[in-house]
Amino acid sequence: MDVNRVVTLDQFIVERQSHFPYGKGDLTRLLSDIAVAGKIVNREINQAGLVDILGEAGELNVQGESVKKLDLYANEQFIAAFKAGGEISGVVSEEDEFLTPLNTGLSKDGQYVITMDPLDGSSNIDVNVSVGTIFSIYRRVTKHGDVQLEDFLQKGTEQVAAGYLIYGSSTMLVYTTGRGVNGFTLDPTLGEFCLSHPEMKYPEDGTTYSINEGNYSHFPNGVKKYIKYCQERDPATNRPYGSRYIGSLVADFHRNMINGGIYIYPNTETNPNGKLRLLYECNPLAFIAEQAGGVATDGKNRIMEIEPTKIHMRVPYFAGSKNMIKVAHDFMEEFPEE
């Protein structure tokens, strides 16, 4: 990359849109809308300690999780951006129990639908730990009128784009349209996302494992065996690995994609199907991981091949460096549940 040339997100998308197999310009507008909403959410997160937007909103979401004020704020900002853009016909959000039709009845119904986790890891906001937004974009299956459930219950292989924003020590937007993964860092002096991580590649190996070991007693046998494998001393395979888990999926995923590593959220007693949601956490990050050369499975099967049955469906999640995932799979196969 010409280090002297600043490439903004909009410039990059326009240069690339000629390759995008769908509507010319549709995706440009859509990704730009996401970037604008991301900047607005970023601004609020950075001020969270100063304005009355921290803390609980005093309600539970469909997941039964306490909703933070910033969760609702982020949800509103992204949905407003999609309404303004006109490209999106409907949204499934972690924050809303049901799908939300948008922009239908217009002269040109938006041809896309989006699934999103508007603010993942929001329990970390009050303690100033990185959080993120995760999204998947699909072409709608129905052609006109209000979107239907079938527009969202599409396999991850049908995604036309996916990405995440990470609100951390810097704010980044990382996305794919199926032609590799590129990362953009927000330059606050310009107010623009600028290309900073072109053609991101998931290292084939890593020495970091990310899992909430507090749930160890509930883990499947194969996961328990894999954790012990990670902790054994074997210099020839760079073990013991380091344990890094900050309770924010986007932050753990992003670090592991840059350095190499594996993130695992298996089924547990509290979450017998796993905790993470297929449509707006697992599938978008699986698309990113695979496009960067990584792997994402449920411990056996490719995440993006799983047939969704409900919009808030949960699945066990193994995502990371392909050689680490293979070893984890071997333990899952060798030590199945009784």
Give the residues lining the site for ligand P6P (CB under 6 A).
120-121, 123, 212, 247-249, 252, 275-276
Q: Which is nearer to ligand P6P, 196 or 210 (CB)?
A: 210
Angle at 41 between CA 31 and CA 147, to 5 degrees: 50
What is the smallest separation between the CB atom of 119 and ligand P6P, expressed in angstroms?
Answer: 10
Q: Which is nearer to ligand P6P, 213 or 334 (CB)?
A: 213
- Residue 205 CB-half CA count within 13 A: 6
What is the smallest separation between the CB atom of 147 and ligand P6P, expressed in angstroms?
Answer: 25
Range 187-193 contact pairs with CB under 8 angstroms and sequence separation of 24 or more:
187/6, 190/6, 190/8, 191/39, 192/6, 192/8, 192/9, 192/10, 193/8, 193/9, 193/35, 193/38
What is the smallest separation between the CB atom of 3 and ligand P6P, expressed in angstroms?
Answer: 33
Count CB atoms within 10 A of the CB of residue 329.
17
What is the smallest separation between the CB atom of 252 and ligand P6P, expressed in angstroms?
Answer: 6
What is the smallest separation between the CB atom of 115 and ligand P6P, expressed in angstroms?
Answer: 14
Q: Do 321 and 292 touch, CB atoms closer than 8 A?
A: no
Residue type, 247: G
283-291 vs 249-259: helix crossing angle, rounded to 10: 10
Q: Which is nearer to ligand P6P, 276 or 278 (CB)?
A: 276
DSSP state of 112: E
Q: Which is nearer to ligand P6P, 13 or 264 (CB)?
A: 264
Q: Which is nearer to ligand P6P, 208 or 248 (CB)?
A: 248
Q: Which is nearer to ligand P6P, 103 or 130 (CB)?
A: 130
What is the smallest separation between the CB atom of 195 and ligand P6P, expressed in angstroms?
Answer: 26
Q: Is the dihedral of CA 285, 291, 293, 295 positive or negative?
A: positive
Residue type, 150: E
**What is the rounded distance in angstroms from the CA atom of residue 324 to the CA atom of residue 280?**
24
**What is the rounded distance in angstroms from the CA atom of residue 22 to the CA atom of residue 136?**
15
Q: Do 34 and 95 touch, CB atoms closer than 8 A?
A: no
**What is the rounded distance in angstroms from the CA atom of residue 225 to the CA atom of residue 262?**
15
Q: Which is nearer to ligand P6P, 8 or 123 (CB)?
A: 123
**What is the rounded distance in angstroms from the CA atom of residue 97 to the CA atom of residue 22?**
30
Q: Which is nearer to ligand P6P, 147 or 311 (CB)?
A: 311
What is the smallest separation between the CB atom of 129 and ligand P6P, expressed in angstroms?
Answer: 10
What is the smallest separation between the CB atom of 228 and ligand P6P, expressed in angstroms?
Answer: 19
